[in-house]
Amino acid sequence: MFDLKAEAHTVAQSPVVPWQKLSGATVLITGVTGLIGSACARVLLERNRTEATGIRVVGLARDAKRAAHALEGYDAQDGLMIVEGDLLDGAVDGLRPDYLIHSACPTASKFFAEHPVETADAIVLGTRHMLELARTAVVKGFVYVSSMEVYGDGNGEPGLEHLLAEGDVGYVNPTSVRSCYPEGKRMAEQYCAAYASEYGVPASTVRLAQTFGPGIPKNDTRLFAMCARNAMAGKDIVLKTAGTSTRMYLYTADAITAILTVLLKGDPGAVYNAANPSTYSSVRQMAEMVATLFPDKGIRVRCELDPSAPYPPEHHLPLNVAALEALGWQPTVDLPRMYENLVQYLED
């Protein structure tokens, strides 16, 4: 059994994070039922348990019961308050948080393709609403959780010869329905920069590589989860693309230290890539690595191309993480261990 609380306890001792800034602070986290939001909340609550820092964690969720389940074992005595509502319905308008972590966002490609309007609205309008709350509350820090997908196609060829710095965004076709996600993320990042410039809101952005680990929904349909489940069951891993896209990955716990680092140390209006350079690989190489974790099951990686599958076009995204490293952050978990921990969690 993988112990999420034990991992959160370890992250809550990270020397990278200037924890003293959060002492007695109220931290509003959106999307607290999601992987990132729930992990952020868990770490802050564990910090309270171990160091009695008096952090008040306010979790915004559309479903309070789901949020309570995601944060099972924590309650008001630990500093937790769950607020039920949507990003746009005013549920948190009366709050005056000291810090705001905005992680709420759809994450499934199928949802993007079927609900592009709702996806774009949640990203763009939701972020605008949270920034307005941050402005009126005069927060000390705001971090927006963005995605590597803002880079679009990225580099023309795979390889680490040219790392993509935060300004090296690539082409995204604005007329593709699925572009509601990367284009929405780009506009949300622009709002962060605009609010920092015009209103002095200390809003920074952390751009995550594909992030996963224990805590994902057990029925997650994304490729990394499919690879893990198929391998556990001894089934071939079947890709619906050629698997030639290359990217970096990031373990959930490393993403949380990145988010907290940017929240507390980041420059207003700035963007920071967060990725583990050691994980850089093609989608097919990643799938083949997963198969090797189960050598006795004879798992093969096969490609059955499906042009209608709602995946992004071929892309190459070797991210430059120098700006985040300059704040003292370093990734700690490589790709094999990411999958080992994920499999242990899925076996529970």
Confidence bin at 35 (pLDDT 50/70/90): very high
Give the per-residue pLDDT at 96: 96
pTM: 0.96
The residue extents of the domains of the chain are 4-215+248-279+314-333
- Residue pLDDT, tens place only, 63-111: 999 999 999 999 999 999 999 998 888 889 889 999 999 999 988 888 9
**Architecture of the domain defined by 4-215+248-279+314-333:** 3-Layer(aba) Sandwich (3.40)
Give the per-residue pLDDT at 219: 87
- Segment 45-56 mean pLDDT: 96
Distance in angstroms (rounded) separating the CA atoms of residues 233 and 270: 43
Strands 237-239 and 301-303, by their bridges, are parallel
Q: Is the pLDDT of residue 246 over 90?
A: yes
**116-121, Cβ contacts within 8 angstroms, sequence gap of 24 or more:** 116/177, 116/178, 116/180, 117/180, 119/180, 119/181, 119/184, 120/180, 120/183, 120/184, 121/88
- Segment 19-35 mean pLDDT: 97
- Residue pLDDT, tens place only, 155-177: 999 999 999 999 999 899 999 99
Q: Are 312 and 243 in contact (CB under 8 A)?
A: no
Give the per-residue pLDDT at 314: 87
